[in-house]
Amino acid sequence: MVVKELSITLILFLSLCLSCYGTFSNLDEVNEYESCQQRYNITDTDMETEISDQMVRHFKPRLVVNVDDYGAKGLGTDDTKAFRKAWNAVCKSPISAVLIVPERKYLVKPIVFSGPCLSSITVQIKGTIEAPSDTSDWDGKNIGHWILFNGIKNLVVEGGGTIDGKGRNWWENSCKVNKSLPCTDAPTAMTFYSCVDLRVENLRMKNSQKIHLSFEDCSKVQVSYLTIIAPNTSPNTDGIHITRTGNMGLSDCTIKTGDDCISIVSGSRNIRIGNIACGPGHGISIGSLGANNSEGHVANVMVNNVKLTDTSNGVRIKTWQGGHGLVKNILFKNIAMHNVQNPIIIDQNYCDSIHPCPVQKSAVQVRNVMYKNIKGKSASDVAVRLECSSSVPCRKIVLEDIHLVSDGDVTQGLCENVIWDEVGEVFPACAS
Ligand SMILES: *[C@@H]1O[C@H](CO)[C@@H](O)[C@H](O)[C@H]1NC(C)=O
Ligand SMILES: *[C@@H]1O[C@H](CO)[C@@H](O)[C@H](O)[C@H]1NC(C)=O
Ligand SMILES: *[C@@H]1O[C@H](CO)[C@@H](O)[C@H](O)[C@H]1NC(C)=O
């Protein structure tokens, strides 16, 4: 038992060390990033201290709270109040606390789990948390959220359970599905806002009203072993959305939805993504950025070891005309494409609007982007499309070891307003 726990602790510690949150400011450093764990130069003494800290934490008494203790029934009746009370109990606990959601199905209406809390908290979801399917349950409430974790430090959410957004009614009322309806917002199933030292792992999410999982203004985040599934026809059901968040690792997830698998938008930096299976959906996106002439910044993103299947895009950077700011130091590598419409794409004329977007002079600058070892099948003839702004061209774009083929007679690379380099075998080659 003790041996097992010690080995778990060791693995935990090693994975923490190896996650290597670094900052890197140019492309060379991006490449170097892989070997950064060596730079940590972890000594035996460091290791012993860390392990004993972990052991102390592990064997420290913890408060265990079960939502059923606060009146949750798990019978399909409204359990919101019980969840709220149980949260208050764990949040004001002076010793670290565990909130358990047992293996039943709990109906929870829009809810906010707010910090700051007195100690670290683990939320263990073993059963299913289900949203109300009736959209009127949001009347008078913030329509942007279903489950919101707000301002919490040292939070773990895990447990192998399911978060079910019951999104069908929201999808049917979307202007993207029924063009005669007005465009309105819909809730994000689970949002982490302003959280620090956050771990989210081993959960299933399905049929969200809009985005499944959103991280906003968070730092030091580890996300892994999630399965996110919604129909490929469901509108705006992004898998994981990242905004103004830094020092984040995201790995070992399967994401099949109706919108982006992962979208990284403004203010995000030092994001490391690996071992993701994506599709159907819209692929992995940086952006959109620069909407409504806004300023957008994303820096230091590594996407490694990803498989994309039946998606509309593979790895994409999208910006609206008229914005300003910078996307820099992006590395996409070891990516397998299976039947992807736009495997490699930079779109600086992005326009997701019912009105056409006017031509504008300014744009978010795209710089230092490397595509390395990207192979597979393109569902369209244009496998590489780098469509940059004529007034603010893309700079320092590197294509290395690319092999993307379509079913058609020709496979093309279209590159406009780009300064690029090719290394190794690159097919299709860029042409303007
Ligand atoms: C690692 O740290 C030890 C002790 O601080 C030092 O002696 C050694 O030179 C370091 N090694 C490297 C590669 O920096
Ligand atoms: C679209 O919405 C209109 C207005 O509510 C409704 O009458 C129509 O039946 C809807 N169409 C579909 C296909 O659901
Ligand atoms: C741009 O601004 C308009 C008007 O305020 C708003 O309706 C629209 O949602 C904004 N677009 C984006 C993508 O933020």
Task: Verify whether ligand 3 is closer than 6 Å to residue 292 (CB atom).
Answer: yes
Q: Which positions ≥6 away from 187 have C-beta within 8 Å?
A: 110, 131, 138, 143, 144, 145, 146, 165, 170, 209, 210
pLDDT confidence of residue 269: 97
**Atom 9 (ligand 2): residue with closest C-alpha?**
178
Is residue 181 lining ligand 2, measured as CB closer than 6 Å?
Answer: yes
Ligand 2 within 6 A of 180 CB? yes
Candidates 17, 35, 37, 41: which one to mutate for ligand 1, based on the most atoms within 8 Å of Cβ?
41
Torsions phi, psi of 232, nearest 5?
Answer: -70, -10
HSE toward the beta carbon, residue 24, CA cutoff 13 A: 25
Q: Which residues line ligand 1 (CB under 6 A)?
A: 41, 43
Q: Which positions of the chain have pLDDT values less than 50?
A: 1-26, 29-37
Q: What is the pLDDT of residue 35?
A: 46
pLDDT for residue 359: 92
Q: Determine the distance separating the centroid of ligand 2 and the alpha carbon of 176, expressed in angstroms.
A: 12
**Ligand 3 atom at shortest distance from the alpha carbon of 288:** 13
Whether residue 289 has its Cβ less than 6 Å from ligand 3? no
The pTM of the full predicted model, rounded to 2 decimals, is 0.85
The ligand whose atoms approach the alpha carbon of 171 most closely is 2
Nearest ligand 2 atom to alpha carbon 178: 1
Query: Which residues belong to the active site?
Result: 282
Give me the pLDDT at residue 40, please: 55
- Under CATH, which architecture does the 260-432 domain have? 3 Solenoid (2.160)
The ligand that comes nearest to the alpha carbon of residue 177 is: 2
Task: Report whether the peptide linkage leading into residue 428 is cis, meaning its omega lies within 30 degrees of zero.
Answer: yes
pLDDT of residue 1: 40
Domain 61-246 carries which CATH code?
Answer: 2.160.20.10
Residue boundaries of the structural domains of the chain? 1-55, 61-246, 260-432
Alpha carbon of 175 to ligand 3 centroid (Å): 15
Which protein residue's CA is at the shortest distance from atom 12 of ligand 1?
A: 41
Assess whether the region 61-246 and the region 260-432 belong to the same CATH fold: yes
CA-closest residue to ligand 2 atom 11: 178
- Rounded to the nearest angstrom, the distance between the alpha carbon of 15 and the centre of ligand 1 is 21
Which ligand is nearest to the Cα of residue 175, counting in written order?
A: 2
